[in-house]
Structures are given as C-alpha cells and as structure tokens.
C-alpha cells in the first residue's frame, strides 16, 4: 500500500478503468438478477469504493479494482446476489475502518456471515511447512462445510490475484503460485469448477516454471497449425453423422491446457507428440436420451476402442461431473476422444458447484444439492476426530487429489472410491465394523487378496469374520482417508490397551 500523496495521480488514471469495470459488472448482473438485487450490488460497490478509497494494490492501481474484479468473476458464473455483494465487500473488514457489524446492519446477516468467513480464511500465512498448510486446508474445509459460498468467493479472490501476479517479486510470486497449485486448484477441482481450476493451473505453472510453460505453449501453437486440416475433417464427418440420424448437436474440438499436457508428459513419461496425437471433440445436445443416440451414431461411424467407454451420466463423478466418454479409431487409425453431454451438464462440467445457482430459481444451494458433495461432510467429520494433524493432512491429501473409481456392491449399489483403492477401502466405506472385521474379499465373484486394486465396474463382496481385527500392515494398502484413520485408531487403542495390560502385570 502506498501513501496518499504518492498515489494521487494513479487514482486519477485509474478512475476510467473503475467506471468501465463497474459498468461491465452491472451489465452482467442485470442480465440475470432483478432490479432490487442490482441496487443492493450497487450500494455494496459504493461502500467498498469509499472504504478502500485511500488504498492501492501492489500494481499502484486503486484497490477497489480488486473486489470489483472478484465480483465480476463470480457474476460471470451467475452466482446469487448475496455472494456478489459479499465479494465486493470481502476485504473491507480486514483492510479498512469498517466493521462487520456495520456490514450486517447495511446488508444483512448472510452477507456479513460470508465476509466474516472470507476474512477468517485470510488470517493465516502460507509457509511450505506442513503444519501451516494443514491449517489452510482445515480452515477451507470448515468454511466449505458451513457455507460453500465462502470458498467460492475465496477462489474468485485467488483467481484475480493470480491474474495480476506479475507485479509481485519473484519469491512472493512463486510462493503464491505454489499454494495455488497445491491447495486452490485441487479444491476448485473437487467443487467441479473446471474453468477456474484450469486457469489456476496454467497461471501457477507459468509463475513456477516460466520457461517450460512457454516451451509447451509454443509447441502447442505449432502442433495446432499442423493439425488443423485433420481436425476439420473429423469435425465434418461427426457433424455429418449426426445430420444423417437427424440429431441436433453441436460438435467442437477440445484443446488440452498447458499444465495438463505438462503433467501427462511428466506423470506418464510420454512424449509431447504422443499426447498431441489424440484428437478430442465434444458434442453438446439438448436432452439426456439424445446423448445415448449420439453415442450409437458415432460408434456406427468409427469403431470404438474397447474398454474406453465411460458412462458418467448414469454414474456422475463425485464433483457432479456428467458426460459420456468414448474413444474411436478414426480414419488412418487416429484415436478420437469424444465427450457427449447436454448443455446443463456442460455448465456443470465448467463451473461445478457454481452451476447450481443457475438452475435454481431461488438462487440458493440447499442441502439436497450438496448431497453429491457428501465427501465434504465426511472430511469435516473426520477432522474433528483426528487428533494427529499430520495424519489428518495425509488422509486429506488422499481424498482430495485422486481420481475416482466406481464399484458395485453385491446388491448393485454404486460406491465411489479413489483411484488405488482396495477391497479394504470398500469395506470401510460400507461400514467401519465391516472394515474392522474384513477377512477376505471377492471381486467379480472371485476371492482375491485384500491388496488388490479395484477397477471401474468391479463388483465387490466382503467376507467378514468376528475373529478378524485391523492389522498395522493394512495401512500400506488403503487409499481412503476413512479406512486409514479407522485402522490407525484401532491399532493405537490396541497398543494402549496392551501397554496398560503390561503395566498391570
Ligand atoms: Mn482480496
């Protein structure tokens, strides 16, 4: 923050921007909110503008441009008015003379609650030390469980800070970028906010590894030029195929993001060309049953690659994602990845939890909407039980960072587990008693070792025995935080009991 005198000229040059940005925000909110809401948003802007008047951002711009930008990011997701207002006011209590009580008086309890939540989230410093990182996570999880909108505002706040990262010193920039990749991107991912996650990752990667990022960006640009012709050809043949079956759908090519390509190159040790040699398309239609008709049509056009079909419409991902996925052998054997979904699913795929507001008339996420975010409650409950913070961190990372596999109970119910899960994880998901007495397992009717990795579509049956109890060795092959903390708790208690017993003797 600079002093008043020094910044005066900057305020004036910034005034024009401010007006333009404000008009832009008001235009967006008028598009989906009623006049009364828009008036409240305007009033919130005026308060924030007055409160932040003497302040500057590190770039020298008037501070108000920051909350304005955050509110705009969220308004673009068509989020409810209360959240937009809280976004405008999110730094007022922390950085200005205004108090939470004043905000409550002017804008009501809900706004004050959200502002308070964001302020509390801000009150920690990030260090690479695990304990501090844990504290960040804990606060996020707590805030999410109370009202997920607090975290949505925080993601908007972080996104604008990432977009304006260049003005900071190298060290600070790297620290913020690292935190974004380690904490904010996975949380955005878990909330299904794909667009924001992609931007976090690409901006974070650019700040951490500018050279690598630029090199991949250049290579992608070049590859795209070379591929243009074949992409157009495939797109035409897909559109033609829909037309023949009289299906209305929108075919478009998909592009992988820079950080995604980097992760694939590193994780799967694949060459850039191998990754780019896959052609990816998306087909968007009006209704769910049309998705399946499109699937039939494209499988008729090109042969599908066996084992690659996934029905995330029947079985949505934990973050709410729905779509059909299939891979085809195109002309000359070129692999073509296809995603098929409705417009509503597309909105959900891009903006995740924020898309809920779009399809709710009252503009509030209720607890039923949040049922699909049951993992959140689960983590929340576990964090109050787990006394060892390092251990909590470990199990949290297990839950936040992995992809899911979907398996069936003998009765045909679907259970979601993280990648790398074993029948033991499955047993603990069913019930902690089932987990504790898990003596063996059948996968697809066959008895398998407990350390067997489960795959999508497996049917799992647990063989329980009263004589069986959790073993320390089990910790080596569970992938869920739930199984891990149950086993640890049991083992710890047992050790303590034995020590007491020994003491008695
Ligand atoms: Mn802020």
On the question of pLDDT at 100 being above 90, the answer is yes
Question: Annotated catalytic residue: which of 49, 95, 110, 344?
Answer: 95
- Active-site hit among 6, 19, 34, 94: 94
On the question of pLDDT at 3 being above 60, the answer is: no
334: exposed, middle or buried (Cβ count in 10 Å: 0-12, 13-18, 19+): middle
Identify the band that residue 17 occupies on the pLDDT scale cut at 50, 70 and 90: confident
How many helices (H) and strands (E) are present in the chain, helices listed first? 23, 11
With b meaning 16 or more CB within 10 Å and e meaning fewer, what string describes 254-281?
Answer: eeebbbbbbeebeeeeeebeebbeebbb
Residue 85: per-residue pLDDT? 97
- Let me know: does 489 contact 407? Beta carbons within 8 Å: no
**Higher local confidence (pLDDT), 275 or 380:** 275
Per the annotation, the verdict on 131 as an active-site residue is no
Across residues 155-169, what is the average pLDDT? 93
Dump pLDDT digits (tens) for 303-355. 998 878 889 998 887 777 899 999 999 877 888 999 999 998 998 888 887 77
Query: What spacing in Å lies between the alpha carbon of 92 and ligand 1's midpoint?
Result: 9
The rounded Å distance from CA 64 to ligand 1 centre is 10
Per-residue pLDDT tens over the stretch 28-80: 999 999 999 999 999 999 999 999 998 999 888 899 999 999 999 999 998 99
Coil, strand or helix at 47 = helix
d(CA 307, CA 317): 18
Partners of residue 329 on adjacent β-strands: 303, 335
How much distance in Å is there from the Cα of 159 to the middle of ligand 1? 10
Query: Does pLDDT of 26 surpass 80?
Result: yes
**Residue 419 clears pLDDT 80, i.e. is over it:** yes
Assess contact for 351 and 194: CB atoms under 8 A: yes
Quote the ligand 1 centre to 91 CA distance (angstroms): 5
| C-alpha of residue 66 to centroid of ligand 1, in Å | 7
Candidates 480, 310, 285, 476; CA nearest to 400 is 480
pLDDT for 250 equals: 95
Looking at residue 41, what is its pLDDT?
97
Q: Which residue has the tokens 């913070």?
A: 389
Report the pLDDT averaged over residues 144-169. 89
C-alpha 154 – ligand 1 centre gap (Å): 8
Say whether pLDDT at 4 is over 50.
no
Q: Is the full-model pTM beyond 0.85?
A: no
CA atoms within 13 A on the CB side of 404: 19
Cα 185 from Cα 428, distance rounded (Å): 28
Q: Is 95 a catalytic residue?
A: yes
Q: Where are the beta strands (DSSP E) in 450-490?
A: 460-464
Instruction: Tell me: pLDDT of 251 over 70.
Output: yes
Per-residue pLDDT, 497: 79
For residue 373, what pLDDT band results from cuts at 50, 70 and 90? low
Neighbours of ion ligand 1 (CB under 5 A): 91, 157
């Amino acid at each position: 923050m600079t002093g008043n005198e020094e910044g005066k000229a900057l305020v004036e040059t910034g005034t024009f921007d401010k007006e333009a940005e404000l008009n832009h925000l008001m235009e967006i909110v008028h598009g989906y909110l009623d006049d009364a809401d828009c008036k409240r948003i305007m009033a919130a802007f005026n308060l924030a503008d007055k409160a932040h008047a003497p302040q500057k951002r590190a770039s020298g711009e008037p501070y108000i441009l920051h909350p304005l930008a955050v509110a705009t990011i969220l308004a673009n997701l068509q989020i409810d008015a209360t959240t937009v207002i809280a976004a405008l006011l999110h730094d007022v209590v922390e950085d200005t003379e205004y108090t939470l009580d004043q905000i409550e008086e002017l804008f009501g309890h809900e706004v004050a609650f959200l502002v308070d939540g964001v302020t509390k989230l801000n009150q920690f410093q990030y260090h690479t030390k695990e304990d501090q990182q844990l504290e960040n996570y804990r606060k996020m999880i707590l805030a999410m469980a109370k009202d997920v909108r607090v975290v949505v505002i925080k993601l908007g706040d972080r996104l604008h800070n990432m977009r304006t990262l260049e003005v900071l010193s190298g060290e600070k920039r790297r620290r913020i970028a690292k935190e974004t990749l380690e904490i904010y991107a996975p949380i955005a991912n878990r909330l299904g906010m794909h667009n924001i996650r992609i931007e976090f990752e690409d901006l974070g990667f650019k700040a951490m590894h500018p050279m690598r990022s630029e090199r991949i960006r250049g290579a992608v640009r070049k590859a795209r030029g070379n591929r243009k012709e074949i992409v157009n050809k495939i797109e035409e043949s897909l559109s033609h195929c829909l037309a023949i079956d009289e299906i209305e759908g929108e075919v478009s090519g998909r592009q992988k993001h820079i950080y995604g390509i980097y992760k694939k190159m590193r994780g799967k040790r694949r060459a850039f060309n191998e990754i780019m040699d896959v052609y990816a398309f998306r087909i968007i239609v009006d209704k769910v049953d049309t998705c399946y008709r499109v699937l039939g049509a494209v499988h008729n056009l090109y042969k599908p690659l066996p084992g690659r079909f996934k029905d995330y419409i029947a079985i949505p991902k934990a973050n709410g994602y729905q779509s059909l996925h299939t891979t085809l052998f195109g002309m000359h054997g070129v692999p073509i990845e296809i995603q098929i979904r409705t417009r509503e699913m597309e909105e959900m795929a891009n903006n995740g939890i924020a898309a809920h507001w779009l399809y709710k008339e009252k503009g509030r996420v209720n607890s039923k909407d949040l049922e699909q975010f049951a993992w959140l409650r689960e983590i929340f409950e576990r964090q109050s039980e787990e006394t060892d913070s390092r251990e909590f961190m470990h199990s949290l990372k297990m839950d936040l960072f992995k992809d899911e596999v979907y398996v069936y109970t003998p009765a045909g119910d679907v259970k979601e587990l993280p990648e790398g899960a074993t029948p033991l994880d499955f047993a603990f998901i069913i019930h902690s008693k089932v987990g504790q007495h898990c003596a063996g397992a059948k996968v697809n009717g066959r008895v398998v070792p407990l350390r067997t990795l489960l795959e999508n579509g497996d049917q799992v049956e647990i063989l329980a025995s009263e004589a069986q109890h959790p073993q320390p060795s089990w910790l080596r092959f569970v992938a869920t935080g739930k199984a891990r903390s149950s086993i640890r708790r049991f083992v710890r208690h047992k050790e303590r009991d034995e020590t007491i017993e020994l003491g008695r003797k």
